Amino acid sequence: MLAIDIVAPGGPDGLVPVETPLPELRPGEILIRVAAAGVNYPDVLQRMGRYDPPSWHSPRPGLEVSGEVAALGEGVEGFAVGEPVLALCNGGGYAEYVAVPAGHLLPIPDRVDMIWAGALAETWFTIEQTLAMRAGLAEGQDVLVHGAAGGIGTAAIARSQIAGARPIGVVSTHEKAEYLRGRLGVDAVIIHRDEDFVERTRALTGGKGADRVVSFAGGDMLARNMEAAARGGTILQLASLSDVNAQISLPQLLGRQLTILGSVLRPQSDATKAEIAASLRRNVWPAFAAGNVVRPRLSTLPLAQAANAHRAMEDRASYGKIVLITAFGERFINDNSVAEG
């Protein structure tokens, strides 16, 4: 099969197409013939040498795919060969085949095409566990989402809308702001280069602040998010892209009864990921099937051009999701799933 290796940590040129045997299928796993593989920022960090996979995971990049079941490992039930699926991978998704624990697979929701399905798992598993399962997302809450035009940001917005909460999207450009308003139906948008997001959040919430904050930046951004949060609010720290260290006011943390919740998805157990998959199928998949989740902007490239996909991912002007398409996946590209940027 064709797969993408990281031959040396560093820039995008370190991503190289290789011919390699199909992955070994262990008990409890399912072999997927990959149609589409989503590109996520953890893949970029891994390529740079800043996000090493756990020792029991594939060293290849790629954390989410869609495709068809190619083979069932010993003891697997509930799926059939040829069935269309999407899955969260323990690495190795940038390939024509990938072996995945059966608990990480989900049927593709109604109204979701194969290419879109390849861009769902990593972002939606992350948001379902952190925002919904751990942070107690609820109807009527205000949810401040940084990086709202990106993959996780888009999922956070959609998950908030499903729950009956109000998302407040923070973006860097007017183009991204228009994407949120026009495509995703977000009426509260902050362009952080033009306005102070703390002051604007408080104005949008009647002085209360955001009940939940989704953030990816470290450094002084954590202290700023604490200012933007409501009393008793929760800040979800999902990365530390700007700085790995942060200083905060403990009296503010204590006095305003704030919670700071940190999480990364990849090193969590297969059992935990299976629990997240079950929650998605129960609480989110019906919203997809009802047409209540908007298809994000998708950009597609052939699998062999993974390096170009990473270059696009690192372009601050990019938004939506980037998806790598295998030769098998080309048959699923149609008028509803062509590249949009």
Distances (CA, A) of 183 to 71, 139, 143, 225: 38, 22, 18, 26
Position 318 scores a pLDDT of 83
Check residue 243 and give its pLDDT.
Answer: 67
The distance of Cα 302 from the centroid of its chain, to the nearest Å, equals: 20
> What is the tens place of the pLDDT at every residue in 250-265?
989 999 999 999 998 9
pLDDT of residue 248: 85
Q: Report how far apart, in Å, the C-alpha atoms of 135 and of each of 211, 255, 263 are.
A: 10, 19, 11
Q: Check residue 242 and give its pLDDT.
A: 66
What would the pLDDT profile of 59-113 be if each residue is shown by its tens digit?
999 999 999 999 999 999 999 999 999 999 999 999 999 999 999 999 999 999 9
Name the pairing type of β-strands 15-19 and 2-6: antiparallel
pTM recorded for the entire structure: 0.94
CA gap 138, 6 in Å, rounded:
41
CA 211 from chain centre, in angstroms, equals 21
Helix axes 197-204, 221-228, angle to 10 degrees: 20
> What is the mean pLDDT of the segment spanning 5-21?
97
Question: Distance (Å, rounded) from C-alpha 147 to C-alpha 217?
Answer: 9
CA Rg value for the chain: 19
CB-based contacts of 109: which residues, under 8 Å, 6+ apart? 117, 285, 288, 289
The mean pLDDT of 25-52, rounded to a whole number, is 96
pLDDT of 127 higher than 90: yes
Which of 120, 156, 154 has its CA nearest to residue 35? 120
Between CA 311 and CA 319 the distance in angstroms is: 13
What is the percent of the chain where pLDDT is above 90?
87
Work out the percent of the chain whose per-residue pLDDT is above 70. Answer: 97
Instruction: Give the CA distances from residue 24 to residues 28, 56, 106, 273, in Å, rounded to whole numbers and listed in that order.
Output: 12, 13, 21, 21
CA distances from 190 to 141, 197, 228 (A): 17, 6, 13
Mean pLDDT of the chain: 94
